[in-house]
Structure 1
Amino acid sequence: MELIGLALLHPDYYQISIYWKQWTMAATIAILIGNLIFWTGIITVYMTSVQLEIKWRVIGILCGWIPIIHLITLGKIIHITSNEIHIEKNKIKLNESRQRDEICKTKYPILLVHGVFFRDFQYINYWGRIPNELQKNGATIYYGNQQSADSVENCGKELADRIKEIILETNCQKVNIIAHSKGGLDSRAAISTWGMDKYVVSLTTINTPHRGCEFADYLLSKAPESLKMSVAKTYNTALKKIGDPNPNFIEAVTDLTASACKKRNESMTNSPNVYYQSVGSKLNTPSGGRFPLNMTHSFVKYFDGANDGLVGENSFPWGEHYQFLTVKGKRGISHGDMVDLNRENFDDFDVREFYVQLVADLKKKGL
């Protein structure tokens, strides 16, 4: 006790105490400033970035509470998103440079037709950033608004009604259809079965299973009836609640089988009044795709060969012109990539510019 008392009386003790308090205060202020910088930066990036993956968003939150580490993490996240900024700046410059040309202002408007198990929601666009890019370059866009799941014939009827509605409202006379996946089959039905060849000037199908999916035949033949009915009931009930008037899961899946498509192709022939063209793509490896296509690629490959994660390459071609797309390396271009499902930029393929040039080509053809 006497030693402690002597220490307290020593003049250096108070000097050290002052230094310690100053250091503690400085460290506290530094931590607070660091946290302020981090959370301001992270919130800004999270609210504005489309490209930042969920993985890095989670890492950012977890590391946000660890001093110094959080600033290193923020630096990494900013580095990732800097490429996004560079791409978007170039996009703006490109669109401004050709704004007067309106290269996507076709004679007839564009009707975008979605694929199976999706809908044309008002706030979540099936086609990602594509429609906005087309509109910036002069395109007039409409949507199919057919049900998410039903037979090709029934969805074709819905599209036929939609086409007549657009023509009645706008007096545009005809439309150019760009359809993805099953939407291409629905569109062919609208043209050939429901008489829309009078009102459709062109049909471009994107990754459409014109010859069906062999794996779908296998699954439907092997799955227990009780399981199929249970899945169908769950799906149909859920989709009715979000807008489908009469969804039919079983009819939709059945119409995607190779056997159903073979039979349909024999009777549903092309119209000479319509320009048909098609596009397909390939996912190079399972790891190149996003969930769930990274899980389905190998299974589909067993039955259908090279594929986009869902549809075999041999099923894509239809019409006068066919374009096959892929990129080097393990990635490739998936079924979802072709409609900008994940809003993702990746090397060697710009999905937005691809559609701009696709529509620009329709304009050059006078369509």
Structure 2
Amino acid sequence: MARTQPVAAPLPLDTSHPAPLLSRLGRRAEAVARRAVELEPMPQPPLAPTRYPVVLMHGFGALANLVQGGVLHAEAMHLRGRGVAAYAPHVNPYDTVAVRAEVWADRLSRVRAETGAERLNLVAFSSGGLDARWLARDPAWAGRFASLVTLSTPHRGTALAQYVLDRPDRLRAWAVGFMDFVGRAAYDAAPPHTEAALAELTPDAVAAQFDPDETVDGAWCASFAGRAGRGTAVPVSPPLVVPNRILYGLAGVNDGIVPEASAAWGERLGTVEADHARQIGLGIGAAGHDACAFFDRLCDRLRERGL
């Protein structure tokens, strides 16, 4: 009769030394543990300044001021964290292009005084691009802009502005009155002129003021369009659902405010798959667009060009 070999008792798990313990747990567990405690030698991304300061110019509308620091503030601070001299000033968005451009001139002069820079990189969102183009015509600013890159600027206007102005008197008065109220609350130093500002964004008005082929001498001029909602697979923020549908019927694919075709100007750099709000880090609902990463990549392009 065969003799049964005695079964050796399992060795006790040695927890006194981390290495044997991790070995028993297996390679995958060891990798997880190391990731949890391992330190990168240089965890911060390298500084990547541009040659000239970057000024982020906002567009029409003041509701975005509910965000702490205001429109594009978070994006400017993100760029500063990478070593870029970035600024995101504010002007009253419910005013005419000429008035806004005059205030922008003051803001840009402050940036130049603080940095000592001879030239500036302007990154202008929405109607801010029209303000920048208007200001660039001023001989006092000739040669002061190294670049002007626009994002969803209505270089050919937006039919949505005409749609609002064409509403019955009571509805138009309510819409304009609400925007005037917000404008006064946000910028009490300068009274708003919303209806005149809206009128300047209609396709006919923009065509009368700006040649879509006119660029800025001595500056790299380029543009991004935006699209979302109807005619795309990109979700749109709930507040822009109705404007997006209205504008789609009037002018085709759009980002909720500006038609995609209207945003083309200078060198076409592509289309941002995001609605008008998400392009600047706002919006409600599903995410999908990283505004800070977008401005990071844009600054990469500026550096590649020595700007």
TM-score normalised by the chain length of structure 1:
0.65
* Equivalent pair of 1:189/1:268 in contact (CA under 8 Å): no
| Equivalent position of 1:279 in the other structure | 224
For the pair 1:146 / 2:146, whether they are aligned, the reply is: no
Q: Secondary structure at the match of 2:149?
A: strand
- The answer to whether the Cα contact below 8 Å between 2:60 and 2:126 also exists between their aligned partners in 1 is yes
- CA shift in 2, pair 1:199/1:144, >3 Å: farther
For the pair shown, the structure with the greater C-alpha radius of gyration is: 1
Distance 1:288 1:281 in 2: 12
2:151 to 198, 206, 218: 206
CA contact (8 A) 1:281 1:308 kept: yes
1:299 matched to 2:246? The reply is yes
Query: AA paired with 1:98?
Result: P
Tell me the SS of whatever aligns to 2:43: helix
Offset of 1:217 from its aligned partner?
2.0
In the other structure, the counterpart of 1:215 is: 160
3-state SS of the aligned residue for 2:216?
coil
Q: Find out whether 1:175 has 2:120 as its counterpart.
A: yes
**Residues 69-113 of structure 1: CA deviation (Å, up to 9, x unaligned):** xxxxxxxxxxxxxxxxxxxx9xxx8x93632xx22x111111111
Aligned sequence identity (%): 24
Query: Residues 229-259 of structure 1: CA distance to partner in whole angstroms, max 9, x if unpaired?
Result: 4543443244223324121101211111001
* Aligned position for 1:336: 277
Q: Which residue of 1 aligns with 2:300?
A: 360
- Are the structure 2 counterparts of residues 96 and 279 from structure 1 closer, same or farther at C-alpha, using a change threshold of 3 Å? farther
Paired letter, 1:135? R
Structure 1, unpaired ranges of 5+? 1-88, 327-332
What residue in structure 2 maps to residue 320 of structure 1? 267
Match of 2:291 in 1: 351
Q: 2:122, 2:147 within 8 Å by CA — same for their partners in 1? A: yes
* Number of residue pairs matched by the alignment: 265
SS of 1:133's equivalent? helix
Whole-Å separation in 2 of the counterparts to 1:173 and 1:96: 34
The answer (yes or no) to whether the contact 1:174–1:201 under 8 Å persists in 2 is yes
SS at match of 1:135: helix
Aligned AA (1:303): L
Mapped to 2, the partners of 1:344 and 1:96 lie a distance apart of 31
Q: CA deviation at 1:126?
A: 1.6
Q: Could you tell me the TM-score, scaled by structure 2's length?
A: 0.77
Q: Give the one of 218, 223, 243 matched to 2:187.
A: 243
Instruction: Give the match's secondary structure for 1:292.
Output: helix
Structure 2 partner of 1:109: 53
Q: Given that residues 112 and 142 in structure 1 are in contact (C-alpha distance below 8 angstroms), is that contact kept between their aligned partners in structure 2?
A: yes
Amino acid at match of 1:293: L
